[in-house]
A and B are shown apart, each in its own frame.
Chain A
Amino acid sequence: MNIHIRNGRLVDPKSGIDAIQDVYIANGKILAIGSLPAAFHPDHVLDAGGLVVCPGLIDLSVRLREPGLEYKATLESEMNATISGGVTSFACPPDTDPPLDEPGLVEMLKHRARILNQAHVYPIGALTQGLNGEHLTEMAELHDAGCIVFGQPNGFLTDLRVLMQAMQYASTFGFSVWLSPQDRNLAYDGVAHDGEMAMRLGLPAIPVCAETIAISNIILLAKEIDVHIHLCRISSAEGLALVRAARQQGMSITCDVTINHLHLSDMDIGYFDSNCHMMPPLRSFSDRDALRKGLLDGTINAVCSDHAPVDEDAKLLPFGQSEVGATGVELLLPLTLKYGMEMKRPLVDVLAAITSEPAKVLNIDAGYLSPGGAADLCVFDPDIYWKVSATTLLSQGKNTPFLGMEVPGKVRYTLVNGHIVYESEH
């Protein structure tokens, strides 16, 4: 199908373009930008007047909950949520049930996602079997099945020897290692940031050093090994400082932050709002401000949704017993735009955090708009505000601290490989 997107404000962070330009799509690729190619006959013309046309968004953490956790969400429901959020590629953490530690599971996931023919799924392979932190997975086999990076999402490997060996083994094949830096012993039974809020509410607390000590260990180990490390979900100013210093020393290290940690602090827990039960925990105002600045100065490479649909019953529990996580893939764009407005940053800079930069982290050929590239696009109205509610969210999980809030930026069209996979009327 040939598509002509006309009159849109084309914003491409990779090339730095921010101008009204037409886009011409043929055979799943971008054929041309700007002037009409010879002998181009569109089957479909999208009028993008007043809308922003940007690369399809890339989210570094979207949990599909399949296999095994379909009561929380299904592949279909979450893929629909993904494209309605303008996300065309995403990484899927391995913490399914069973975890993504066998090639067959990964192939099945990729196959099922392909049938749905929507966003591109990049499964993160489990670093250790059963995510148990003891035995390495068959990373090369998992890579052949479709995993492009390997991670340990449920906390830090407590056995540093296994962590070192996992880094060494991944490095052998040139695979990136994705780690959620949190020392489990220091985090212990904690459910909230070790600050005034946890103290007042009597919630078991997680100190910042649970993150910084984990990051320090990871950095010290990785220094000895030629491996790329990606730190998932940095939550503290001190953790960020460690990443900054490591990178200044020449280490190959990247990190991301969630939309929640970019906007919220532990004060938002209020009167035990279980929607604010996150891991890592929402930290202090000063941590949040440091994360905002870290994104601004490039220390943080990307913003992710850390999408984690949770069933309602699992949140209708006392804070400490409630399940961790928040739905978010549909809020990735709005909350990134909101961040940009609050920080007074140009749109082209802000969109980099959810397009070109996460593409670099994932090392995939995506996140840009140029002739010859895949026609994965997001077309959105930057001026529309919409209310986050159980009815406006397509994800099966309705759990987010932003419920009831008005957020900016409504996706109008999502294109994957030159096909319109999502379209909204307003």
Chain B
Amino acid sequence: MINRNPQLDKNRVLQHLLTTEGLPASILLQILDTAESFVGVTERDVKKVPLLRGKSIFNLFFEPSTRTRTTFEIAAKRLSADVFNLNIAVSAQSKGETLLDTVDNLSAMNADMFVVRHVQSGAAHLIAKHAKPGIHVINAGDGRHAHPTQALLDMFTIRRYKKEFHNLKIAIVGDILHSRVARSQIHALTTLGVPEVRVIAPKTLLPSKVERLGVHVFHDMNAGLRDIDVLMMLRLQKERMQGANLPSSEEYFKNYGLTPEKLRLAKPDAIVMHPGPMNRGVEIDSMVADGNQSVILPQVTYGIAVRMAVMSILAGHQV
């Protein structure tokens, strides 16, 4: 009873970006290649192209966010679209309106694209299923499920620094269990042909069966970081410390925090990535975060180009 991939139309053209899972490498590369052309745009004096002029893009953030929402807004504005930010967590939903009622209302305002963030896994899929034909949905993070544009900007960053995917060893470190970013990264990396993806975390922060995603599981960071080309650190949410996931941030940092000493186990030219916002002294040492192997700030810059690429491709524009 499993249906066709809801992201692709009958001709396998991208209609929505909901997850990196199930997308062919050709589409992922198309997004990365398109983003390359937008990097130039973002570096110009006039950082604007008219590709989405007259289009209405609604940022539907059912979960609070500043950073991601802002980067989507910048991306849309640089494509000359009209952007509407709705902080729905404190508006219609709090008055009892259902998720799909909200979507229906905004559809009636002739929206062209929804950028959706929601605390529940699958919310973007639900919206994509019920939105009027022609409205494209971009998942900006749903529960623990997916954060595809973050993963794509990570891929973009990796390609910028490492050129190829097929000869890399990549480690993802931290709270894989609750991370939508990690899931999307893993799908994207394996699709793009990375031969070895490792996940490094204590057992309380790993979902069962994670190895079915084609990753190698490590609980010992010293072992997991050996010969690594790319390190992708994940944010550790403070609330995880209060439950039974972890005993303390100190113990976590000792075992899984990325310090200069641990980083030396990786290849000398390894790059360090982080989706932000960082918890310094919890998952990453400031010496590393601000060090010369860190590409954390370029990730943010590339994030705008990648989101511009996704929006323009969904709107039917090839660059």
B62's closest neighbor in chain A, by CB?
A: A318
Find chain B residues with CB under 8 A from A405 CB: 1
A194 touches B208 (CB 8 A): yes
Mark each residue of chain B from 169 to 193: 1 if its CB lies under 8 Å from any CB of chain A, else 0. 0000000000010010000000000
Q: Does A196 contact B (CB under 8 A)?
A: yes
Q: Do A202 and B98 contact each other (CB < 8 Å), given the known contacts A195-B209, A271-B6? A: no
Instruction: From B98, B146, B209, B212, name the one whose CB has the most chain A CB atoms within 10 angstroms.
Output: B209
Contact code string A252-290 (vs B, CB < 8 Å = 1, else 0): 000000000000000110111100000000000000000
Q: Which residues of B contact A316 (CB under 8 A)?
A: 98-100, 126, 130
Q: Which residue of B lies closest to A321 (CB)?
A: B120
Interface size on B, residues (CB 8 A): 30
* B308 interfacial contact with A, CB 8 Å: no
Taking the complex as formed, is A384 at the interface, i.e. its CB lies under 8 A from any CB of chain B?
no
Residues of A within 8 A of B125 (CB): 271-272
B2 at the binding interface (Cβ < 8 Å): yes
B99–A202 CB distance below 8 A: no
Chain A nearest CB from B313 CB (Å) reads 21
> Is B144 engaged at the interface, CB distance under 8 Å to the other chain?
yes
Which of A194, A268, A270, A318 contacts B126, CB < 8 Å? A318
* Chain B residues, Cβ within 8 Å of A320: 120-122, 143
Provide the B82-101 mask, 1 if CB < 8 A to any CB of A, else 0.
00000000000000001110
Contact partner of B121 among A195, A201, A268, CB < 8 A?
A: A201
Residues of B within 8 Å of A294, CB to CB, are none
Interface string of A198-225 (1 = CB under 8 A from B): 1111111101000000000000000000
A319 within 8 A of B: yes
- CB of B285 closer than 8 Å to a CB of A: no
- Chain B residues 187 to 229 lying within 8 A of chain A, measured CB to CB, are 207-210, 212-213
Q: Is the CB of A201 within 8 A of B145?
A: yes
The answer to whether B207 touches A198 (Cβ under 8 A) is yes
Task: Compute how far the CA of A194 lies from the CA of B207 in the bound complex, rounded to whole angstroms.
Answer: 8
> Chain B 275-292 against A: per-residue CB contact (8 Å), 1 yes, 0 no?
000000000000000000
Would you call A202 and B144 a contact (CB within 8 A)? yes
B21 sits at the interface (CB 8 A): yes
User: A146 CA to B170 CA in the complex, in Å?
Assistant: 65
Residues of the A chain whose Cβ atoms lie less than 8 Å from the Cβ of B274: none
**Is B3 located at the chain interface by the 8 A CB criterion?**
yes
Instruction: Tell me whether A317 is interfacial, beta carbon within 8 Å.
Output: yes
CA distance A207 to B209 in the complex (A): 12
Contact of A271 with B210 in the complex, beta carbons under 8 Å:
no
Whether B21 contacts A200 by the Cβ 8 Å rule is yes
In chain B, positions 94-126 with a C-beta closer than 8 Å to chain A are: 98-100, 118, 120-123, 125-126
Contact A317/B126 with A202-B145, A203-B121, A268-B1 known, Cβ cut-off 8 Å = yes
- In the assembled complex, A401 has its CB within 8 A of some CB on chain B: yes
- Whether B2 lies near A268 (C-beta < 8 A) is yes
How far is B118's CA from A198's CA once the two chains are assembled, in angstroms? 17
Q: Tell me the complex Cα distance, A165–B32, Å.
A: 64
B122 and A201 contact, CB distance less than 8 A: yes
- What are the residues of chain A within 8 A of B130 when measuring CB–CB? 316
Tell me the complex Cα distance, A296–B132, Å: 47
List B121-165 residues whose CB lies under 8 Å from chain A.
121-123, 125-126, 129-130, 142-146
For residue A313, CB closer than 8 A to chain B, the reply is: yes
Minimum CB–CB distance for B286 against chain A, Å: 30
Q: A319-B121, A321-B120 are in contact. Are A270 and B207 (CB under 8 A)?
A: no
Docked-complex contact B118 and A204, CB < 8 angstroms = no
Task: Answer whether A205 and B100 are a contact pair too, CB < 8 Å, given A319-B120, A319-B121.
Answer: no
**Contact (Cβ within 8 A) B183 A200:** yes
Contacting residues, chain A, for B21 (C-beta < 8 A): 200
A111–B136 CA distance with the chains assembled, in angstroms: 53
Q: Mask for A42-63, Cβ within 8 A of B = 1, else 0? A: 0000000000000000000000
Q: Chain A's nearest CB lies how many Å from the CB of B101?
A: 9
Partner of B180, one of A202, A207, A273, A319: A202
On chain A, the residues within 8 Å of B146 by CB distance are 202
Q: How far is the CA of A198 from the CA of B130 in the complex (A)?
A: 23
Q: Are A205 and B208 in contact (CB under 8 A)?
A: yes
A268 to B1 CA separation, bound complex (whole angstroms):
6
Bitwise, B233-264 to A at CB < 8 A (1) or not (0) is 00000000000000000000000000000000
Closest to B183 in A: A202
Q: Which residues of B contact A270 (CB under 8 A)?
A: 1-3
- Residue from the list A194, A195, A267, A272 in contact with B122, Cβ < 8 A: A272
- Interface positions of A from 298 to 325, Cβ below 8 Å from B: 313, 316-321
Which residues on A sit within 8 Å (CB–CB) of B209?
194-196, 199
Whether A267 pairs with B99 at a CB distance below 8 angstroms is no
Contact of A271 among B2, B98, B213 (CB under 8 A): B2
- Interface-central residue, A201, A202, A207, by most chain B CB under 10 Å: A202
Known: A272-B122, A318-B99. 20 other contacts (CB 8 A): A194-B208, A194-B209, A196-B209, A198-B207, A199-B208, A199-B209, A200-B21, A202-B144, A202-B146, A202-B180, A270-B2, A270-B3, A271-B3, A271-B122, A271-B129, A272-B125, A273-B1, A318-B120, A320-B121, A405-B1
Binding site for B on A (CB under 8 A): 194-196, 198-205, 207, 267-268, 270-273, 313, 316-321, 401, 405
14 A-B pairs with C-beta separation under 8 A: A194-B208, A195-B209, A199-B209, A199-B210, A200-B213, A202-B180, A203-B144, A270-B2, A271-B2, A271-B3, A271-B129, A272-B126, A273-B1, A320-B122
A-B pairs, 9 with minimum CB distance: A202-B144, A202-B145, A272-B122, A318-B120, A270-B2, A202-B121, A199-B207, A318-B123, A319-B122
